[in-house]
Amino acid sequence: MTISPCRSQTFVDYKYLNQLLLEVQENCRSHKNSKIVSISLEIGLVDPLLVLDKFNHKNAINFYFENRTQGEAIAGIDTVDKLEIFGNTRFTKAEEFIKNCLKNIIPISHQNHPLSLPHFFCTFSFFDQHHKTDYPFPAATVFLPCWQIAVKNNCCTLVMNTIINSSVNISQILDNLQRHLEIIQTLTNYSFKSEPFPVNLYNKITKNDDKFKASVASALEIIQSKHLSKIVLADTLDVFANHDFNLLQSLNNLRQLHPNCYIFSTSNGKGQNFIGASPERLISIHKQQLITDALAGSAPRGKTPIEDGENAKKLINSTKEKHEHKLVLDFITQHLSQLGLLPQVLAPRLRQLSNIQHLWTPISAVVPNNIHPLQIVAKLHPTPAVAGATRDIACAEIRRYEPFERGLYAAPLGWVDADGNCEFIVGIRSALIDGNYARLYAGAGIVAGSDPEKEFAEVQLKLQALLKALV
């Protein structure tokens, strides 16, 4: 991220803040309740990834999200309130949790800026229950952070969320805010140097190559029998390093290597992190305008402009790839229509990333006030781009073929703010990090005409791109 200051100094009227917080406290005392105060400040421009690294500790839940092409990044660090759940009511319960929290929040802000609003950070696993009990993330986590720092349009906003009750010490809260602002000030002129992973310092443990190819061949038989028109099968790569992975450097490498992707990271507060560089947006809502993506059908980038163009042409003209893409497109438009939305299909195009290119069709819609973003997420997840068609049969087959827990792989990750704006991506091209161990995930869509060797090569291409970033 290019850092150039939008404000050289952060002015905070502590006397005014102190008076406001004392009034809130007095109100809490008389009503015998507690409130969450959300204090928003415009600050000098700083990289949220650096702030995450500085404020974070091993037992804190956090979330990091960056879209470099949009000039946006946001981090949520530690929790004021959180919900962790399993089961098929997780989206509904998450929505209720957010709505109940919002009733209890008092915003203090002089900005009319979407980033000044409190954000709720959400992760949902692919399945609503885990088959493997040792998977380290819940099926759903929603949290309101203690600290939220965001950059958009070259301006930076810090939000501090804190509980006010009759016994809390207001002076300590303001001292805490001042201390954190001073730390942020020291980060304004810092810039990264990418450090690639030293050669021969890790042992790569791959699954049996033949197993994935055999699964593809078996899935093709089911597709031939017409029980299924598509299934997405994933594979994993396990990596052990001789020292702990450097999360900060890995994320910085990801954003350097994949500037067109969403860079993300979330921690569970127990030392494990889930990170990645996803090309796939699930939904984005801003001022009731929804954008979602049909992203399916792939080809490698070429080593020369001529080869790249030939690969793109083959992709655009491939009956197999167009069929796979249409399954996703039709699914999304149908499911948005079922919610009462009126999806508008935009012109199809290519999504060209550093090592792979996809068929891509954006879809837009207007979202009425009575539809919460999580209702749309619940309706769309999982799309045929990460599951298959028909969805229920594909999901059952995925459980049968894949010996590992998908967890947050290919699942919705993102945020919702107090005004119903949101950004959710699909957690593909991702890795689970635990100390010196990493499990990398990638998948491929299997349809009639798929070739096990080519699908295996596509998955390896995705895994290797991710492996390159880990340090």
Question: Which residues are the active-site residues?
Answer: 230, 280
Residue type, 338: Q
CB of 240 closer than 8 Å to CB of 312: no
Residue type, 211: K
Q: What is the rounded distance in angstroms from the CA atom of residue 66 to the CA atom of residue 254?
A: 10
Q: Per DSSP, which regions of 319-387 are E strands?
A: 344-345, 349-352, 356-366
Torsion 323-329-331-337 (CA) sign? negative
Q: What is the rounded distance in angstroms from the CA atom of residue 38 to the CA atom of residue 31?
A: 20
Q: What is the rounded distance in angstroms from the CA atom of residue 17 to the CA atom of residue 170?
A: 10
- In DSSP terms, 76 is beta-bridged to 63, 148
Could you tell me what percentage of the chain is helix, strand and coil, using 3-state DSSP and rounding each to the nearest 5?
Answer: 35, 35, 35
Query: In terms of Cα–Cα distance, which of 457, 86, 384 is closest to 231?
Result: 384
Q: What is the rounded distance in angstroms from the CA atom of residue 455 to the CA atom of residue 444?
A: 6
CB of 359 closer than 8 Å to CB of 321: yes
DSSP-derived pairing of the beta strands 430-434 and 422-426 = unpaired
- What are 193-202's contacts with CB under 8 Å, separation 24+? 194/249, 194/252, 194/253, 194/256, 195/246, 195/249, 195/253, 195/471, 196/253, 196/468, 196/471, 197/241, 197/468, 197/470, 197/471, 201/241, 201/242, 201/243, 202/239, 202/240, 202/241, 202/242
Q: What is the rounded distance in angstroms from the CA atom of residue 455 to the CA atom of residue 202?
A: 26
Query: In terms of Cα–Cα distance, which of 298, 236, 217 is closest to 437?
Result: 236
DSSP track, 184-236: HHTTTT------PPPTTSEEEEEPPHHHHHHHHHHHHHHHHTTS-SEEEEEEE
Query: In terms of Cα–Cα distance, which of 72, 40, 444, 405 is closest to 261?
Result: 72
Q: What is the rounded distance in angstroms from the CA atom of residue 318 to the CA atom of residue 326?
A: 12
